[in-house]
Amino acid sequence: MSGEVVLEVDFVSRSFGALTALSKVDFTVRGGQVFSVIGPNGAGKSTLFNVISGLHAPTSGRVRFRGGDLTGLTPEAISRLGIAKTFQITNVFPKISAFENVRVAAQSRARVSGRLSSLWRSPDVEREVMELLSAFGLESRRDELAENLSHGEQRYLEICLALATDPTLLLLDEPTAGMTPGETKAATTLIRRIAGDRGLTLLLIEHDMSVVMGISDRIAVLHFGEKIAEGAPDEIRNDPAVIEAYLGGAED
């Protein structure tokens, strides 16, 4: 499916009362791409993710996933179509083990899930769960409660949960938030590699430009809810409007 259109964000606007958080944002993500959306804080990046993942309906415009319209679908329905999301603020199940966290995510794709038979059948997903934990170096932490993991481990667990739902498109909301520069570099490399291995399409939100430049195929820049630039990393780096937004307009 590489190269075909996976996600179309079609002139999406979203207002909260008088505040316009997104204004006619328009871009297309193709299969296998790493597509990043960057912008200063408050640019509307998280709102964009919330619209795509179904938390907010767009005020106008459409979001299409592999040709099907997502507008008006609930987060659980969108998840089932194959879009997974990680959260900027770690959002795991704190008082169950790392293994149980990933297992409950993986089981959401099992056939019995949501049926009466889930009362007496427990789908066996142990192998997939352990593979995911190992990929992120968490296999020795499997029985630790999620809340006792380090910040970096929780960030990885967060990604494990999303990957366990076997998505086509993975939305990553600042996956390296709160990591040291060293951890950030390791994490981005790891994410890129795992996405490549699994043939995933990635849509990544970042406010830190240095994170996305190395791993993105294509970048869109949001500023005050509008897309001010889109292109390959090199084009974005030298775009005067982007430089202005980051250096000149960052404080307002």
Partner 1 sequence: MSSAPRTLPWGAPAAFAALALLPLAPFMSKYYLLLAFDALVFGAIAMSLDLLMGYTGLVSFGHAAFYGLGAYAAAVLLERGVLSLWACLGFALVVVGVYAFVVAYFATTRRGIYFALLTLIFAEVVYTFFRYTQTFGGSDGIQGLPEAMLLPGVPIDTPIKKYYLVLAYLIFGYVVCRLVVASHFGRVLVAIRENEDRARFLGYNVPRYKMGACMISALLTGLGGALYAIRASYATPDLMLWTESGEFIISVMIGGLGTLAGPIVGGVFFTLLRDKVSSYVDWYFIVIGLVLVAIVLFMPRGLVGLRSAFRLRT
Choices 35-43, 97-105, 131-139, 222-230 (CB under 8 A): range interacting with partner 1:
97-105
Choices 56-64, 92-100, 174-182, 241-249 (CB under 8 A): range interacting with partner 1:
92-100
Kindly tell me which of 21 and 162 has the beta carbon lying closer to partner 1.
162
Angle in degrees, 0-180, between the axes of helices 126-135 and 98-107, rounded to the nearest 10: 120
189 part of the interface to partner 1, by CB under 8 A: no
How far the first Cα of the chain sits from its last, in Å, is: 42
CB of 185 to partner 1, least distance (A): 27
108 part of the interface to partner 1, by CB under 8 A: yes
183 part of the interface to partner 1, by CB under 8 A: no
Residue 106 and residue 165 in contact, taking contact as beta carbons nearer than 8 Å: yes
111 part of the interface to partner 1, by CB under 8 A: no
CB of 214 to partner 1, least distance (A): 28
CB of 69 to partner 1, least distance (A): 18
Site map 40..79 versus partner 1, x via CB under 8 A: -------------x--------------------xxx--x
110 part of the interface to partner 1, by CB under 8 A: yes
80 part of the interface to partner 1, by CB under 8 A: yes
* Among residues 16, 69, 72, 122, the one that binds partner 1 under rule CB under 8 A: 122
List residues near partner 1 by CB under 8 A.
53, 74-76, 79-80, 84-85, 87, 91-97, 99-100, 103-105, 107-110, 112-114, 118-124, 126, 143, 145, 161, 164-165
